[in-house]
Structure 1
């Protein structure tokens, strides 16, 4: 994988270099072509050759002789030059701004010599054509310099082709060396990232330490964060799977017992010699076991809906103090719990809360019922309404430390619940209901001193 990435990177680098060279050549050729075919509007901004070729526009024939216009003389002054017009024999027929020492006649050889070389006054000469006349334009101390180069076009073409080829090869070699250097820096961490993603795909969530992160440091950091998150989710999934298996085992056991009773007493009802009193007792037992099974299935359905956030809340404006006081009175009016010492207190204002009364009632009653059924009859239970929520506190047996950590888990039964009837979902349901309202539940307990449940709303 590493070498594959390196080769791909090198191919990309070489392709980019080749494209850059090709584009540079096109730009160079385009500029040369533009310069040859286009000129500037102002003569004063042109080169000497261009100025000379275009100066013929300021020449005209008057009385059979060439004449220079006033505009032409102004342009000569701007350009810093002078002009002499020659006939076919090299004789000067008219001039403008020419120095006194300028010759009045030129032979062909002299014209060629002046065009090619500077004279003693460092004057650069240019030659133009106007009808049957030629004109010589001189510029003293010109910023331009003329070099005469003789070359063979075929040789130059061959030379330029070879030069371009070797320059291209050299550029590609340099790009390859630089590409190899940088590819070792870039492709190595990329290859490592691909391996790490492959490990995550195989559910290997271990966090790995690496050195020389370079520009990929945030990527490695995020990969490790993803590994930690996935590991936490995997651990949570394993816990839920274990609890689900335990719950299925408990539910299966809890269902087998009432089902066995229902089946047994149903068979007894078929006996012809049973009395009406026995028949009524058997029917009552069957009814009780059926109700228990229904409650078990209802709790299972409710906890699943709460867990998947599929339980809509029917919120109503409720005065919290009055609501909790009525719950405590309802518990005390139950004949099963009328002898228990349950006290109601309120240390805050009777604040208004938006709650689902039915679900919140079930959650709070679950906490109170647990305090009752898991403790001795003489246990004192205090239900308090505070500014932040509700507190249920008792001075009973307390809960073992190992059970506190899992007390709100679904399907979990504590070590002191062997002889207690119930589905094992009560506290989990209560916690889910509170959290569905945007609240939270905390439980503290100590063996022999009691338990305290705080519901924060």
Structure 2
């Protein structure tokens, strides 16, 4: 090759390639490309493995956070900033949980202490009021007033007992005396207790005992308390009288079983059903209890939760209230085994 640049100059260059080498250029280029691709793949695999090793502890830590377990991750890893943030969130969560637990225990202990302090003088008041009410030497008017004192004292004692029980259930401090219990047996005893307490003639109670083979494992006394509260709730909120039905059921797919308490009384507006299981004066409760202290249904709800069950409430437009005490099927199977 002859080059005549710049002006008045010339240069001669000669290039030569081996024909065999020229013919090998394509496969040499292909081999180079394959080697580059292999190196890139190897580097990406190594980087991916390193990233996975750094991400796996973070995923485990996040799962522990969801379970409110303490988390401590190595902040010297590739994702150290993220690990530090998770550690800080875990520390804050543990601190708040400890504070909430301490507050709940203090509240529960305070309620238990107040309940104990009230019971002793209240027992004396009830004792003296009963003596005055039954003494023939006391004027009739004074005996009547003593009877009022006794009845109000018994209401106060019941309120203190309910408040203490709800507090224990709310903070998982109520021990459960578990035993095998037949659902229809609970229904019979609760209905009998209501009748023996002098049920007014305006009320009729019906018992469906067709499902005799349904058993659960639970605290018989607490379960009776829950059913009794539902029956008494129907009586208290329907002064005009109503029909009350109670019976056991098993779902069609056999995954659930329980009891149904139903009345045909006035019912409750559906938009208020959700708040009936909230404690009275809770921020989630927009309407104050219409009658009583408002602890009846919240107590039932917490008794069911302590037995891994749930309380379902419904009130059709035509009136009436239906309460379903539902238990998971495994409870029934475990009890029947």
Give me the TM-score of the superposition, normalised by structure 2. 0.52
Aligned residue-pair number: 210
Give the secondary-structure state (helix, strand or coil) at the position aligned to 1:369: helix
User: Any idea what the Cα deviations from partners look like across 1:387-408, whole Å, max 9, x if unmatched?
Assistant: 2001112222221234212110
Residues 395/415 of structure 1: CA separation in 2 closer, same or farther (3 Å cut): farther
Compare CA radii of gyration and give the structure with the larger one: 1
Shift of 1:284: 1.5
* Equivalence map 1:290-309=2 (5 Å): 290-309=153-172
**Residue 435 of structure 1, CA deviation:** 1.1
**1:284 aligned to which of 144, 147, 158:** 147
Structure 1 counterpart of 2:275: 406
Alignment pair present for 1:326 and 2:189: yes
Task: Indicate the SS of the match to 2:314.
Answer: strand
Name the structure 2 match of 1:358.
Answer: 221
Show the counterpart of 1:427.
Answer: 297
- Counterpart in 2 of 1:343? 206
Counterparts of residues 380-399 of structure 1 (less than 5 Å) = 380-387=243-250, 388-399=257-268
Are the counterparts in 2 of residues 332 and 338 from structure 1 also a CA contact under 8 Å? no
Between the aligned partners of 1:363 and 1:448, the Cα distance in structure 2 is 26
**CA–CA separation in structure 2 for the residues paired with 1:406 and 1:336:** 28
Change in Cα spacing, 1:218 to 1:441, as seen in structure 2 (3 Å) is: farther
Q: Is 2:322 the partner of 1:452?
A: yes
Alignment CA distance shift 1:278-1:441 (3 Å): same
What SS does the corresponding residue of 2:217 show, helix, strand or coil? Answer: strand
Identify if the C-alpha distance between structure 1 residues 390 and 425 changes in structure 2 by more than 3 Å, giving closer, same or farther.
same
Structure 1 runs of 4+ with >4 Å offset:
214-223, 412-417
Structure 1 match to 2:26:
none
Deviation at residue 432 of structure 1 after TM alignment: 1.0
Deviation at 1:345, TM superposition (A): 1.4
Tell me the equivalent position of 1:131. Answer: none
Describe the SS at the equivalent of 1:303.
Answer: helix
RMSD: 3.8
Measured against aligned partners, the alpha-carbon deviations of 1:213-262 in whole angstroms (never above 9, x if no partner) come to x9589769969x98xx99xx9xxx9xxx9xx9xxx9xxxxxx9xxx9xx9
The Cα shift of 1:350 comes to 2.2
Q: 1:295 and 1:301 mapped to 2: Cα distance?
A: 10
Taking the aligned partners of 1:405 and 1:222, their CA distance within structure 2 comes to 35
| Alpha-carbon contact 1:442-1:455 (below 8 Å) kept | yes
For 1:436, the equivalent position in structure 2 comes to 306
Change (3 A) 1:222 1:375: farther
Task: Go from structure 1 to structure 2 and tell me whether the alpha carbon gap of 1:375 and 1:361 turns closer, same or farther (over 3 Å shift).
Answer: same
> Structure 1 residue 338: deviation in Å?
4.6
Q: Distance in 2 between matches of 1:348 and 1:220?
A: 57
TM-aligned CA distance change 1:277 to 1:454, over 3 Å: same
Q: Larger RCO: Structure 1 or Structure 2 (Cα < 8 Å, ≥ 6 residues apart)?
A: 2
Measured in 2, the distance between the counterparts of 1:435 and 1:424 equals: 18
Q: How does 1:36-47 map to 2 (within 5 A)?
A: none
Q: 5 Å matches for 1:161-200?
A: none
Q: What is the TM-score when the length of structure 1 is the normalising length?
A: 0.39
Give the SS at the match of 1:393.
strand
SS at match of 2:166: helix
